[in-house]
Amino acid sequence: MFKPKGVIPTLVTPLDKNGQLMEDELRKVIDYTIADGVHELFVLGSSG
């Protein structure tokens, strides 16, 4: 059974004014977050 541990942040999803995914910006967010030393990424999650 998978047991998450460590720092697992939810990611913001960068959208343009029309609600379309800004893929290049999302890649920057992912790269920045990984470079900060997190253990895993929580994709399609919510922090609200």
Question: What residue has token string 């895993």?
Answer: 40
Q: Which residue has the tokens 């942040």?
A: 9
Quote the number of domains for the chain.
Answer: 1
Residue 12 — pLDDT band, cuts 50, 70, 90? confident
Q: Provide the domain limits for residue 11.
A: 1-48
Output the CA–CA distances (angstroms, integers) from residue 29 to 1, 2, 5, 20, 41, in the order listed.
29, 25, 21, 16, 11
- Residues 14-26 have pLDDT tens digits of 999 999 999 999 9
Does this model's pTM top 0.85? My answer is no
Taking residues 29-37, report their average pLDDT.
93
In the block, tokens 């994709």 appear at 43
CB contact at 8 A, 9 and 41: yes
